């Protein structure tokens, strides 16, 4: 009697026999070495909006720039067959002959066993077709206390179209506006943009900015009493409406470098970290506090029902927000006086 013992299926087992490229090509039915954008095989797609590349961790990624979808080879299988992670492992192992499971439907298609390698990094040429802000857009910003003057000061634009590598990947609408944060040009004179899709539930940013870029840094005064490090450009501008200098890292999961921080300490008396009061914000603040205990850390109390400064301004209006700022300033003055007494 012939017995077959199938191995326990894991990600490592699969990748020890087959490459990410082979798996991605088999299930997407798209040549992995394709350089140009292509239509998504996972949805009805009328224009090329997808690309395959390796991210900065070396993982092969399928990205749909129209929806923000960002999947590795296992995520592609999960999305295609509407299954969970472990089911995806079983499907791949069965289709590629690592196990035999008659309960899993075999997928048609020829598996390419010839090694294919992708070395391209993420496409980064972003271009914008700018349009005038609509009344609805200006009202949306104004709800956070952000005026057209502030939008101009911080180089924020309303976008009609977003192009990636010369192909259109997004078009604005009344239900889905797009805002472009212009970051100047790099050494190769390539425009740097951070595109903001505020009404998306996920993947709300498309950017070719460096991870080290600091939002609002160029608009800081030379010196001052307070500089707030917050988590978004929207918060930076909402604080600027009260003449409070603020900056934001390019991602909530990043923090400014030690060199930049030391420079800020020479320019400002108080450096305050103000992140969201949700779980992510608190975890990131705890990490920063462990590395920089000398800074001042603030969160908006949960009972106010606002996760960040801009939300607080929108919910409570100009005067209530101004009162809260004055209370913080009084508290800072009390801290200074206490230190002087010591």
What is 1-123's CATH number, 3.90.580, 3.40.1010, 3.30.70, 3.40.50? 3.90.580
What is 215-341's CATH number, 3.40.50.300, 3.30.1490.100, 3.10.150.10, 3.40.1360.10? 3.40.1360.10
Q: Give, in order, the Cα–Cα distances in Å from 113 to each of 17, 25, 38, 54, 110.
A: 10, 11, 23, 20, 9
Measure the CA–CA gap between 101 and 99, rounded to whole angstroms.
6
Q: Decide if pLDDT at 121 tops 60.
A: no
Measure the CA–CA gap between 93 and 90, rounded to whole angstroms.
5
Common-topology check for domains 1-123 and 215-341: no
Give the pLDDT confidence score for residue 250 in this predicted structure: 85
Name the average pLDDT for the chain. Answer: 84
Q: Which residues of 75-87 are buried (b: 16+ CB within 10 A; e: fewer)?
A: ebbbbbeeeeeee
DSSP state of 309: H
CA-wise closest residue to 264 among 251, 282, 241, 246: 246
Report CA torsion sign: 141, 143, 144, 149. Answer: positive
Give the pLDDT confidence score for residue 84 in this predicted structure: 84
In this structure, of 102-116, 137-151, 212-226, the range with the lowest mean pLDDT score is 102-116
φ, ψ for residue 176, nearest 5 deg: -140, 75
Which of helix, strand or coil describes residue 16? helix
Cβ–Cβ contacts within 10 Å for residue 69, how many?
20
In this structure, of 151-155, 176-180, 277-281, the range with the lowest mean pLDDT score is 277-281
Q: Give, in order, the Cα–Cα distances in Å from 257 to each of 249, 251, 282.
A: 10, 13, 20
Give the pLDDT confidence score for residue 329 in this predicted structure: 82
Q: Decide if pLDDT at 201 tops 70.
A: yes
Give the pLDDT confidence score for residue 36 in this predicted structure: 74
340: alpha, beta or left? (left if phi > 0; alpha if psi -120 to 50)? alpha
Which residue ranges make up each domain of the chain?
Answer: 1-123, 126-209, 215-341
Give the pLDDT confidence score for residue 3 in this predicted structure: 42
């Amino acid at each position: 009697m012939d017995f077959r013992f199938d191995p326990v299926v894991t990600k490592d087992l699969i990748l020890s026999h087959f490459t990410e490229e082979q798996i991605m090509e088999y299930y997407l039915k798209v040549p992995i070495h394709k350089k140009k954008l292509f239509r998504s095989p996972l949805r009805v797609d009328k224009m090329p909006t997808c690309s395959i590349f390796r991210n900065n961790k070396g993982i092969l990624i399928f990205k749909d720039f129209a929806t923000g979808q960002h999947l590795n080879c296992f995520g592609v299988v999960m999305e295609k067959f509407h299954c969970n992670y472990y089911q995806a492992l079983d499907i791949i192992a069965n289709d590629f002959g690592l196990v035999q499971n008659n309960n899993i439907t075999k997928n048609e298609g020829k598996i390419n066993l010839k090694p294919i390698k992708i070395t391209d990094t993420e496409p980064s040429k972003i271009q914008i077709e700018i349009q005038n802000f609509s009344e609805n857009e200006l009202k949306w910003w104004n709800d956070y206390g952000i005026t057209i003057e502030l939008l101009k000061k911080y180089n924020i634009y309303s976008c009609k179209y977003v192009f990636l590598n010369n192909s259109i990947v997004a078009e604005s609408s009344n239900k889905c506006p797009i805002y472009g944060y212009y970051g100047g040009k790099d050494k190769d004179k390539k425009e740097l943009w951070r595109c903001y899709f505020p009404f998306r539930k996920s993947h709300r940013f498309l950017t070719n900015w460096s991870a080290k870029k600091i939002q609002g840094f160029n608009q800081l005064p030379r010196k001052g009493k307070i500089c707030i490090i917050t988590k978004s450009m929207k918060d930076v501008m909402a604080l600027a409406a009260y003449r409070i200098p603020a900056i934001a890292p390019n991602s909530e999961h990043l923090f400014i470098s030690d060199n930049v921080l030391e420079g800020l300490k020479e320019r400002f008396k108080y450096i305050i970290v103000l992140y969201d009061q949700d779980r992510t914000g608190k975890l990131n603040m705890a990490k920063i506090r462990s590395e920089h205990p000398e800074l001042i850390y603030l969160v908006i109390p949960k009972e106010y029902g606002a996760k960040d400064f801009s939300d607080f301004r929108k919910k409570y209006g100009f005067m209530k927000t101004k009162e809260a700022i004055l209370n913080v300033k009084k508290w800072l003055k009390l801290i200074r006086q206490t230190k002087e007494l010591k």
